[in-house]
Amino acid sequence: MTMQNIGRPTRPEEAPVAEAGGEHRSLTGGRGLLQDEALLFELGGWSKTGVDFPPADHDAADLGDLIRTQPIGLPGLSEPEAVRHYVRLSQKNHAIDLALYPLGSCTMKHNPRLNEKMARLAGFSDLHPLQPQSTVQGALALMDRLAHWLKTLTGMPAVAMSPKAGAHGELCGLLAIRAAHEAKGDLARRRVLTPTSAHGTNPATAAFVGYAVTEIAQTPDGRVDLADLAAKLGPDVAAIMVTNPNTCGLFERDILEISRLTHEAGAYFYCDGANFNAIVGRVRPGDLGVDAMHINLHKTFSTPHGGGGPGAGPVVLCEALAPFAPAPWITHGDSGFALVEEARGPAAQALGRMSAFHGQMGMFVRAYAYMRSHGADGLRQVAEDAVLNANYVKASLSDIMSPAFPDGPCMHEALFDDAWLEGAGITTLDFAKAMIDEGFHPMTMYFPLVAHGAMLIEPTETESKQELDRFCRALRALAAAAKAGDVARFKGAPYLAPLRRLDETLAARKPRLTWRPEPTTVAPTPLAAE
């Protein structure tokens, strides 16, 4: 592959003036409060810095030829310029703080600010992972309390805290399952079963651990096909990976039979806990026969998504898998909490180590503050309101859009297909982009794969009825426009976003993944070391 390093306009003022925003055009291309913002590298700050330091007492002559002699190529900004750069950029993002963010399977709920404040207490944020354990007893106590809540809410006896996100938790769970099979001398299990509707991380994780992946068929009502599952289970199957509630937003009503069949075949039941928000406080996965499940603290327990991360993915484990949990873990003795960091001696069965330290402490503090705020009663209300809101959206749109599974209630998310758009000349993608012009983030599109042109809407419990009504009115208006043949409204959308529709094919065909100076400009000459 060759990288395209040059050729496109890289300064905003050279780009064509947008036609969006009505007939009036500004003289410079400006659009009121919506500021265009050049790249950091185009702001001219090759010799600036926004941080003042005292002079160093020593030079680095002792490092001889290990010292960098070439310029790095980093621009700098004074503090006012930096603040303006990032504030301007921030204003080009949709956010849950702005409006409903109905991404199915992502649980975009309100992020309480108390949790941010708590995570920033110096007694949590300014702790080194390797300082003596006697100096971090409060931090270990918090991890232990969070673990207690997670175990109680899931009805599981053990939890591994160190996985850093959902997929990392899946990996941890499958490694524990593999270790458990190997400990029994059962080396013949080489396959993992997942439903067609599974998250992409499920088959990717199974393959990562060295398992072959076989798909389980789905029934017409959106659940695991028990007969197909029974037929595919056997002495070569290590585990099934099933999301419950599943990615169609439906509770697997045969879940007890699924776990019974799985266990009878000697396999483990890994549950993808991405949708735990729908049942938290009401249903315990442990009662459903689940052997391992990750919990996305950034979904159910409201730690902020931060534009893509960080997450946190503790994994609850059944009795049989608990001995294989990775280091470290917490024990409680006479002198307080202790962190067991090595898989040796009595802990020798541990599957190893998932990452350098103890997990996402900053996320633990936020999630624990969230749980304590809600309590057992509030968390139960979370699940109920999440499910109520999703069913309300489904009921409010069912006459004009086509629910993929119209019969019976959904759980925390409502799945529609694109049957209602047939003949309109408008795709799910077009419809989603038109939602942007109405001020909403699109729903999850084209996932799960089992619904044609899928539109998966997850409102979450932190939306008011007023906001849901506003959302449904917007979707109904758009749906009516689509059926009335107003194709241009959709095909050209979005018109009112900071940018019009972006050319993703171009981006992939000629990848341009780093900024490079244009050939006509003089290469920047950063300051040498003082």
Partner 1 sequence: MRYLPLTPADRAEMLGVIGAATIDDLFVDVPAAARHADLFDLPLQAGELEVERELSALAARNRAAGAGPFFCGAGAYRHHVPASVDHLIQRSEFLTSYTPYQPEIAQGTLQVLFEFQTQVAALTGLDVANASMYDGSTACAEAVMMAQRVTRREKAILSGGLHPHYAATTQTIAHAEGMEIVRQAAAVDAEAAVLDAIDAETACVVVQTPNVFGVVTDVSRIAQAAHAAGALMIVVTTEAVAYGLLKSPGEMGADIAVAEGQSIGNGLNFGGPYLGLFAVREKLVRLMPGRLCGETLDADGRRGFVLTLSTREQHIRREKATSNICTNSGLCALAFTIHLSLLGEAGLRELALLNHSAARDLATAVAAVAGVEVLTSRFFNEIAVRVPGDAGALVEAMLADGVVAGVPFSRLDPAAGLDDVLLLAATETTTRDDIAALVSALRRRIGQ
Region 190-219 residues binding partner 1, contact defined as CB under 8 A: 199-201, 203-210, 213
User: What is the residue type of 67?
Assistant: I
The residues with which 457 forms a beta bridge, in sequence order, are: 103, 414
137 lines the binding site for partner 1 (CB under 8 A): yes
The nearest distance, CB 494 to partner 1, in angstroms, is: 5
C-beta of 423 vs 504, nearer to partner 1: 504
135 lines the binding site for partner 1 (CB under 8 A): yes
DSSP 519: T
The nearest distance, CB 461 to partner 1, in angstroms, is: 6
Give, for 425, the enclosing helix (H) or strand (E). none
> Binding residues for partner 1, how many (CB under 8 A)?
220
The nearest distance, CB 424 to partner 1, in angstroms, is: 21
Of 21, 30, 44, 71, the residue at the interface with partner 1 (CB under 8 A) is 71
Q: What angle, rounded to 10 degrees, do the helices at 465-483 and 428-437 form?
A: 130
95 lines the binding site for partner 1 (CB under 8 A): yes
- The pair of structure tokens assigned to 71 is 């310029």
181 lines the binding site for partner 1 (CB under 8 A): no
The nearest distance, CB 72 to partner 1, in angstroms, is: 5
Query: For residues 78 and 50, is the Cβ–Cβ distance under 8 A?
Result: yes
Of 76, 157, 234, 266, the residue at the interface with partner 1 (CB under 8 A) is 76
Of 180, 461, 479, 490, the residue at the interface with partner 1 (CB under 8 A) is 461
The nearest distance, CB 345 to partner 1, in angstroms, is: 10
417 lines the binding site for partner 1 (CB under 8 A): no
453 lines the binding site for partner 1 (CB under 8 A): no
Query: For residues 134 and 260, is the Cβ–Cβ distance under 8 A?
Result: no
Tokens 């503790």, residue located: 314
User: Taking contact as CB under 8 A, which single stretch among the options 64-72, 226-234, 416-424, 482-490 is the one that binds partner 1?
Assistant: 64-72
Tokens 């290990």, residue located: 66
The nearest distance, CB 226 to partner 1, in angstroms, is: 14
57 lines the binding site for partner 1 (CB under 8 A): yes
User: Taking contact as CB under 8 A, which single stretch among the options 264-272, 276-284, 413-421, 473-481 is the one that binds partner 1?
Assistant: 276-284
Chain residues 254-273 in contact with partner 1, contact rule CB under 8 A: 255-256
Strands (E), 387-452: 402-403, 414-417, 444-445
281 lines the binding site for partner 1 (CB under 8 A): yes
Chain residues 359-398 in contact with partner 1, contact rule CB under 8 A: 359-363, 365, 368-369, 371-382, 384-385, 387-389, 391-392, 394-396
C-beta of 405 vs 420, nearer to partner 1: 405
Query: For residues 401 and 432, is the Cβ–Cβ distance under 8 A?
Result: no
For residues 151 and 329, give the distance between their C-alpha atoms in angstroms, rounded to a whole number: 14
188 lines the binding site for partner 1 (CB under 8 A): no
User: Taking contact as CB under 8 A, which single stretch among the options 183-191, 399-407, 436-444, 475-483 is the one that binds partner 1?
Assistant: 436-444
Pick the closest to residue 410 from 220, 219, 248 (CA basis). Answer: 248
Q: What is the CA radius of gyration of the chain?
A: 26
Of 156, 158, 159, 171, the residue at the interface with partner 1 (CB under 8 A) is 171
CB atoms inside a 10 Å sphere around CB 184: 11
Pick the closest to residue 317 from 156, 135, 511, 94 (CA basis). Answer: 156
- Look at phi and psi of residue 445 and say left if phi exceeds 0, alpha if psi is from -120 to 50, else beta: beta
Of 400, 436, 474, 487, the residue at the interface with partner 1 (CB under 8 A) is 436
Of 35, 129, 338, 452, the residue at the interface with partner 1 (CB under 8 A) is 129
The nearest distance, CB 423 to partner 1, in angstroms, is: 25
72 lines the binding site for partner 1 (CB under 8 A): yes
The nearest distance, CB 384 to partner 1, in angstroms, is: 5
- The pair of structure tokens assigned to 461 is 């419990």
Give, for 457, the enclosing helix (H) or strand (E). strand 455-457
122 lines the binding site for partner 1 (CB under 8 A): yes
User: Taking contact as CB under 8 A, which single stretch among the options 48-56, 226-234, 263-271, 420-428 is the one that binds partner 1?
Assistant: 48-56
178 lines the binding site for partner 1 (CB under 8 A): yes
The nearest distance, CB 121 to partner 1, in angstroms, is: 4
236-270 as b/e: b if 16+ CB within 10 A: ebbbbbbbbbbbbbbbbebbeebbebbeebbbbbb
Pick the closest to residue 176 from 193, 194, 163, 195 (CA basis). Answer: 163
Q: How far is CA 205 from CA 141, 201, 211, in A?
A: 31, 6, 9
How many CA within 13 A on the CB side of residue 8? 14
The nearest distance, CB 157 to partner 1, in angstroms, is: 15
Of 56, 488, 522, 523, the residue at the interface with partner 1 (CB under 8 A) is 56
Query: For residues 55 and 530, is the Cβ–Cβ distance under 8 A?
Result: yes
- The pair of structure tokens assigned to 317 is 């484990």
The residues, any chain, with a CB within 8 Å of residue 332's CB and separated by 6 or more, are 144, 338
Chain residues 218-247 in contact with partner 1, contact rule CB under 8 A: none
